[in-house]
Structure 1
Amino acid sequence: MKIVAHRGASGERPEHTIGAYELAVERGADGLECDIRLTRDGHLVCFHDRTMERVTVEKLGRGQGIVSTMTLAEMRELNIGTPEEPARVITLAELLELYQDTRSQNIGEGLREMFIETKHPNRYGAQVEHRLHEELQKARLDRDPHINLISFSPQSLVRYKLINPEIHRILLRREYQRMIHPGMEAMGVANAHGLSIAKARLRPDIIGRRGLSTYVWTADKEDEVRWSARLGVTWLATNYPGRARMWRDDEEATRVGNAPRSKVTSQVRAPERSRWLTG
């Protein structure tokens, strides 16, 4: 089972900041996950919400800070870090640069993976998918088997498949939705499926159904991580990749009777100040 850093090591650093992703690498995450949204001036930024108000140090009024109505420069005027360590919104291009520089660091075998989630892409037609493809092409990652596109939108996955069928696609399903069904699978909408840890524990039979790899989010508790490892989850998203990796390794070692592969500690220590953080 691979441990995926959900918005970086977002339980220890502000989400979607370079500092969070650098810490995820330091903690030995097997994968990095981000959400992408399109700004008014056409940049793909790593950002989850429709508006900025939840994550900014500055107080914003209701309806302010709507990502789709802001330019990248306007977004970067706001602090999404802390008062002590300010941080700015990053672009997908910047995250891909960090990913390429660190994809073999603090990882046992192989290369780190990247998971890119398109957020509410339908209002833009295919703009999000085309811009994503452009960024992956610039980074020479458009045919890389370690890049994964994830989305709650089957339409987004289909659109990107038409642009570039080489990239692995994972369809995420909400609590009330059916899992990926044979029709979608036959059309090649997705190569894998994803579900929440809550739904996975209610319906463990879904994990690995029809031979599909399974992505589960977001597991931060020891029993959730150990349970997922036992059930054969392929990728597990967590806000605490260091401790999740430790629990995963211990669980796998217990099952095979070997010593744990890693000695990652769950104790939080302050990393060196990132060169990406801005004041």
Structure 2
Amino acid sequence: MRRTPRIRRARQNDRGASSRPQVVAHRGSSHEAAEHTLAAYVKALDQGADALECDVRLTADGHLVCVHDRDLRRTASTQGIVSTMNLAELDELDFASWKSPWSELDDEAPERNPQEYKVLTLRKLLETVADYDRHVELAIETKHPTRYGGLVERRLVETLGDFGWDRAGSPARVMSFSLSAMNRVRRLAPDLEIVMLVDKAHHWPVLRPVVGADWVIGPGIDELRLHPGLGRHLVRAGREIHVWTVNTADDLDICLDLGVSAVISDRPNYMLELLGS
């Protein structure tokens, strides 16, 4: 029997009247489709995800693309390094076969649109969100270290500015594990919401004195499980909390107990089902 999470214990957040946390699709609906592909994001949107999460890296010719790893061995079966390749080179690669390597042998598999499984530019993802028939938010993570340093954040803010999304009221927020990156975003776009990601509980005492009072904090679910004091400290400090990567009912219960504002999940549809949405 499926266990229902304790949604009654969730606190109301600032994103609307609903007491449930925002459900954010981690790299799209990445449990079911190849991560960071247009197909994964369209699936997440169709499933009702409130927001989409993506990682961005800068190509050699200055394009922001949605790719997590610095190299392409895992998702495109090549030794290529994203930062040394042009967009045209990346566009020739298949970013989906690794997820379903036997799909071509399945006569009953639905026909694939090749364009939905190529490298996805951030601009294309922003266009998809802008054209969708309901309000959708974006959580964009800049990856560091990178050879381009602060140019990544500068290009990101410029791209958001093309949509009018670099100011207060933007549906986009920017995340990073890099404190320097978050400070750059704050300087470039003072009104953009930013999320300081935390991958180790013992990093928080170091970060606490230097992060802005209005910054969202983004701990990983594993750290909240292993070090429950981290969550309690964040709640007592009145911090808004966004948690990654929340994929099970037990994970969701931890988040609901803390009253987090957003859960970032590979399985947005499952999270919405558990939340009764």
Fold shared per TM-score above 0.5: yes
1:22 and 2:52 correspond: no
**What aligned pairs does 1:81-92 form with structure 2 within 5 A after superposition?**
81-82=96-97, 84=104, 85=112, 86=114, 87-92=117-122
Structure 1 residue 183: Cα displacement: 2.0
Partner of 1:40: 60
The structure 2 residue matched to 1:55, chosen from 60, 64, 75, is 75
The structure, 1 or 2, with the larger RCO (C-alpha pairs under 8 Å, 6+ apart) is 2
Q: Secondary structure of the equivalent of 1:51?
A: coil
The structure 2 residue matched to 1:235, chosen from 262, 268, 275, is 262
Partner of 1:149: 174
Distance 1:209 1:79, change over 3 A: farther
Structure 1 residue 222: Cα displacement: 1.7
Off by >6 Å, runs of 4+ in structure 1? none
Alignment partners' CA distance in 2, 1:121 and 1:142: 23
Partner of 2:194: 169
Q: Secondary structure of the equivalent of 1:158?
A: helix
1:100 and 2:142 correspond: no
Partner of 1:76: 91
RMSD: 1.8
Q: Secondary structure of the equivalent of 1:194?
A: strand
Alignment partners' CA distance in 2, 1:195 and 1:2: 15
Alignment partners' CA distance in 2, 1:23 and 1:245: 14
Alignment partners' CA distance in 2, 1:70 and 1:209: 46
Structure 1 residue 103: Cα displacement: 6.2
CA offset digits 1:130-187 (Å, max 9, x no partner): 10011101112111332110000000010111111110011011125422644213xx
Q: Give TM-score scaled by structure 2 length.
A: 0.80
Provide structure 1 residue ranges, at least 5 long, that are not aligned to the other structure: 105-110, 250-261, 263-279
1:120 and 2:144 correspond: yes
Distance 1:24 1:206, change over 3 A: farther
Structure 1 residue 189: Cα displacement: 7.8
1:193 and 2:213 correspond: no
Structure 1 residue 123: Cα displacement: 3.3
Distance 1:122 1:65, change over 3 A: closer
Sequence identity of aligned pairs in percent? 39
Letter in 1 for 2:35: E
Alignment partners' CA distance in 1, 2:266 and 2:81: 25
Partner of 1:136: 160
Letter in 2 for 1:179: W
Give aligned pairs, total. 237
Alignment partners' CA distance in 2, 1:216 and 1:103: 27
Alignment partners' CA distance in 2, 1:130 and 1:96: 16
Alignment partners' CA distance in 2, 1:209 and 1:152: 22
Alignment partners' CA distance in 2, 1:177 and 1:88: 39
Provide structure 2 residue ranges, at least 5 long, that are not aligned to the other structure: 1-20, 98-102, 105-111
